[in-house]
Amino acid sequence: MGAIFAAEKIAAGYGDVVIVHDISINADEGEIVAIVGPNGSGKSTLLKSILGFARLFGGRIIYQGKDITGITPDRAVSLGIGYVPQINNVFPNLTISENLDMGAYQIKGKASIKAGMTEIYVMFPELGTRKNALAGNLSGGERQMLAIARAMIAQPKVLLLDEPLASLSPKPANAILSKMQKIKEAGTAIIIVEQNVKKALSISNRGYVLVNGTCAMEGEAASLFAEDFSKERFLGLEARGIDKGLPCVHN
Amino acid sequence: MIVNWPQVLFNSVVTGSLYLIGAVGLTLTYGLSNFPNFAHAEFITLGAFISYGVAHQLELSLLPALIITFLITGAIGFLCYRGIFQPLARGGANMIHLMVASIALGFILRYSIGAAWSWKPLYFSNVWPLSSLWSHHDIGLLSITNLWLWLIFAAVALSVIMHLILVKTKIGKAIRATSSNPELALASGININRVIWLTWFIGAGLAAIAGIFRGADTQIWPMTGWDIILPVFAVAILGGIGNYYGSIAAAYIIGLAENIGVIALLAVGLSTEYRVGIAFLILIVTLIAKPQGLAMLFRKA
């Protein structure tokens, strides 16, 4: 089965500064792919460059077999690519249901919006009980739920999540993970950028390890996790020793 | 000195209503485009001149003149954004560049209006000599004109309509969403350019309505908008930039402060010319003490 989403040989950064060098990632339907690595390794930049929130210096983005390099974020949504930023990922001055309305902005017809809304409240029952609460008044975990729900209401085929577990305590973090599992089972591919390596890999099929803006390793999540030396590197205890890992393959 | 307090309060409502209509567009475009548009003053002035022109040429009464003026000035506002500010912002202009460009645009518009029409004041009473707008009513201590009642009605209607648009409609929610987080709005699939264009259209159109009332209440000349731009800015800043509900409260607070200030000025024997200083004072104090204005009280906008 071909990948539904692939970013090939991406070089990206901000202004004139290139942060990410020559990284290729892909995701199949119904797969969770984790991009992990220490602080400053370029994980978020890679994700942001896909939608044009960071500058793309080189490379191609392929979605459903088509080249969509340089697409604007609103077009990406209409094609089926959802994105949840790490910070400021809800509209604090809008209520929960209004945030979802914004996520459903491109859905035509009141009936289908309503149906989507009902579905989201089934998937995220904790949001359904507080529809009229301002997003700015929610707890960190609830906010993250809403952020994901806002992206999910557009029924994306690929969901890009930027550090969804950051600054969450274990309980809400686990709740987010179980939602991701459900989203995956419903057929949406998820690409997750995460610093919490253990948790991210625990639900992922495959993973990429980024160090200093390049891909240091890639492979099955279980095998990546099993590598002792890689654990050390993820934790930032040892930034060198890249040569020990399995090299990233560009196809 | 005997003060007619009911009249002072009523005048405050009239003043506040004018500032509110003038400030809504400013605060919304400021919130979305992230720069203070000083040419907003000229949108007000244009409103006064265009309505005078259409009322004179087409022999229209207040309401149709108001609607046509809203549409024409709204279109001018959209064109100014689309033709000047948007290309500048795309080219990397920051807030200061855009602000200076808006001051320049204001000058160009102001002196073009003066050259094209006149610097000599024009009066709506010449186009609508028999209109009931000018009739006076005396109710107890109050002296009221129909024009003022129309102005208050317009401000109330505007408040209700804008509230319904911002809370009930998809585009209104998108305006609030884009104002608070443009990146997330884009990532939600909102075409934020269209949202910004529409806001500039509405904002300039509302400025024009303020211009009609200001022009009818005083005179129409190229400085009509500039004469009230300071309190209009004070309303936008006191209300919290981009915060519609805050600007409603701020408009009436400043209206009240100005009218009480006039009495204070008279009491100490100073000229009422200093009344503009009152709004300026509120502006400065707000910026020093609470730059976010009343926004914290009205988070929903």
Q: How many domains does chain B have?
A: 1
Task: Give me the mean pLDDT over the A193-198 stretch.
Answer: 88
Residue A132 Cα, gap to closest chain B Cα (Å): 11
CA A129 – CA A124 distance, rounded (Å): 10
The domain in which residue B101 lies consists of 21-228
Q: φ, ψ for residue A192 (rounded to 5)?
A: -115, 130
Query: Above 60 in pLDDT, residue B301?
Result: no
- Residue B193 domain-assigned (yes or no): yes
Indicate whether B289 belongs to any domain. no
Q: What confidence score (pLDDT) does residue B300 get?
A: 53
Contact B299, A92 (CB under 8 A): yes
Cα of A124 to nearest chain B Cα, Å: 18
User: pLDDT tens-digit profile of A89-106?
Assistant: 999 999 999 999 999 999
Kindly state whether B164 is in contact with chain A, defined as any CB-CB distance less than 8 angstroms: no
Predicted confidence band of residue A243 (pLDDT cuts 50, 70, 90)? very low
Of the CA atoms within 13 Å of residue A104, those in its CB half-sphere come to 24
pLDDT of A245 reads 47
Q: Does residue A133 belong to the interface with chain B, where contact is any CB pair within 8 Å?
A: no
Q: Among B133, B131, B129, B159, which residue's Cα sits nearest to residue B144?
A: B133
Beta carbons of B190 and A102 less than 8 Å apart: yes
Amino acid A247: pLDDT: 56
Per-residue pLDDT at B102: 97
B185 contacts chain A (CB < 8 A): yes
Whether the per-residue pLDDT at A244 is higher than 60: the answer is no
**Residue in chain A lying closest to B193 (CA):** A74
pLDDT tens digits for range B212-243: 999 999 999 999 999 999 999 999 999 988 88
Structural domain includes residue B183: yes
Asked whether residue B121 is domain-assigned, the answer is yes
B 97-126 residues with CB < 8 A to A: none
> Rounded to an integer, what distance in angstroms lies between the CA atom of residue B243 and that of residue B84?
25
Going by pLDDT thresholds of 50, 70 and 90, the confidence category of residue A241 is very low
A155-189 pLDDT, tens digit per residue, is 999 999 999 998 889 999 999 999 999 999 999 99
Token digits for B156? 């109330």
Q: Report the residue of chain A nearest B296, measured CA to CA.
A: A93
Which of A14, A53, A74 to probe the B interface (max B CBs under 10 A)?
A74
Range from A2-16, A123-137, B126-140 carrying the lowest mean pLDDT: B126-140
Retrieve residue A89's tokens. 């990922």
Chain A within 8 Å of B129 (Cβ-Cβ)? no
Does B295 map to a domain?
Answer: no
A119 touches chain B (CB under 8 A): no
- In sequence order, the 6+-apart residues with CB closer than 8 A to the CB of A62 are A3, A5, A6, A7, A8, A68
pLDDT at B296: 65
Q: Which residues of B touch A84 (CB under 8 A)?
A: 187
Inter-chain contact A105–B190, Cβ cutoff 8 Å? yes
Residue A52 and residue B222: Cα distance in Å, rounded? 44
- Of residues A234 and A155, the one with the higher pLDDT is A155
Which among B177, B191, B299 has the least Cβ separation from residue A102? B177
Kindly state whether residue B201 falls inside one of the protein's structural domains.
yes
Chain A neighbors of B92, CB-CB under 8 A: none
Please spell the DSSP secondary structure of chain B, one letter per residue: ----HHHHHHHHHHHHHHHHHHHHHHHHHHHHHSS--TTHHHHHHHHHHHHHHHHHHH---HHHHHHHHHHHHHHHHHHHIIIIIHHHHHTT--HHHHHHHHHHHHHHHHHHHHHHS-SS-B-HHHHSTT-GGG-EEEETTEEEEHHHHHHHHHHHHHHHHHHHHHHHSHHHHHHHHHHH-HHHHHHTT--HHHHHHHHHHHHHHHHHHHHHHHHHHS-BSTTHHHHHHHHHHHHHHHT-TT-HHHHHHHHHHHHHHHHHHHHHHHHTT--GGGHHHHHHHHHHHHHHH-TTGGGGG-TT-
* Closest to B74 in 3D by CA, of B165, B164, B208, B183: B208
Q: Does B170 touch chain A (CB under 8 A)?
A: yes
Using the Cβ of A134 and the Cβ atoms of chain B, whether some distance falls under 8 Å is answered with yes
Strand A32-36 versus strand A206-211 pairing type: parallel
pLDDT at B72: 98
pLDDT at A251: 44
Q: Residue B130's pLDDT band (boundaries 50, 70, 90)?
A: confident
Q: What is the pLDDT of residue B298?
A: 67
pLDDT at site A237: 42
Q: What is the mean pLDDT of chain B?
A: 92
Query: In a 3-state reduction of DSSP, which class is residue A131?
Result: coil
Phi/psi region, residue B293 (left: phi>0; alpha: psi -120 to 50; beta: rest), is left
Mean pLDDT along residues A19-32 = 93
pLDDT digits (tens, 9 = 90+) for A201-227: 899 999 999 988 888 888 888 888 776
| Identity of the amino acid at A9 | K
Closest residue on chain A to B168 (Cα): A98
* In the predicted structure, residue A234 carries a pLDDT above the cut 70: no
pTM: 0.89
Q: How many CB pairs under 8 A join A and B?
A: 72
Q: Which residues on B lie below 8 Å from A77 (Cβ)? A: 187-189
Which of B188, B192, B299, B300 is the best residue to mutate to test the A interface, defined by the most A CB atoms within 10 Å of its own CB?
Answer: B188
- Of A35, A8, A36, nearest in space to A22 by CA: A8
Instruction: Give the contacts of B76 (CB within 8 A, at least 6 positions apart).
Output: B43, B46, B204
Tell me how far apart the alpha carbons of residues B166 and B198 are, in angstroms, rounded to a whole number. Answer: 13
**Would you tell me the crossing angle of helices B244-267 and B146-168 to the nearest 10 degrees?**
150
B258 lies in some domain: no
Distance CA A245, CA A78 (A): 38
Mean pLDDT on A83-92: 94
Note the pLDDT of residue A66: 93
Give me the residue from B170, B184, B192 closest to A91, CB to CB.
B184
Nearest CA in chain B to A97: B173
Contact between chains at B170 and A101 (C-beta distance less than 8 A): yes
Decide if B180 is inside a domain: yes
- The DSSP code for A108 is -
**Other beta carbons within 10 Å of A157:** 18
Q: Is the CB of residue A14 less than 8 Å away from at least one CB of chain B?
A: no
